Amino acid sequence: MSKKIKQEISYSEQLSQCIVEGMQENKAKDITVLDLRETGSSVCDFFVLCSGDSTTHVDGITNALKRYTRKTMKEKPWKAEGERNSEWVLLDYVDVVAHVFYKDARSFYELEELWSDAKRQDIPNLT
């Protein structure tokens, strides 16, 4: 009889998964999770990035994400930046940082390239 090995995931992994689900709530595009734990130079464990098709879409994703994390994990962002112009909204949950980009701003800043040494997981778009 084989035993199943139960692998526990850290709180920051759970939070990053919750953030992905919150982004998907409002049809975020091109979601990417960067695991920064082994890079040796990061102040957090994960970056979760996504894109919106318009500034209105970015606002909607941001608001849905904040509601979802509060409802699901009782978490609120410690700090939020960029909500005024909705080109790049950063929600800092301390161990996980969510980046909600307007698609053109995301291609300009290329965070995935800046953190190319991080483990990367691309989440398929929901249709």
- Cα separation, 37 vs 107, whole angstroms: 24
CA 83 to chain CA mean position, Å: 16
- Cα separation, 9 vs 24, whole angstroms: 21
Angle, helices 55-73 vs 11-25, to 10°: value is: 140
**5-9 CB contacts, 8 Å cutoff, 24+ apart:** none
Return the number of other C-beta atoms located less than 10 Å from residue 98's C-beta: 28
Tell me the pLDDT of the chain (127 aa) as tens digits.
445 555 688 999 999 999 999 999 999 999 999 999 988 877 899 999 999 999 999 999 999 999 999 999 999 999 999 999 889 999 999 999 999 999 889 989 888 888 888 999 999 998 6
Contact 65, 91 (CB under 8 A): yes
Query: How confident is the model at residue 8, as a pLDDT?
Result: 80
Instruction: Tell me the fold of 11-117.
Output: Beta Polymerase; domain 2 (3.30.460)
Q: Which residues pair with 91 in a beta bridge?
A: 80, 98
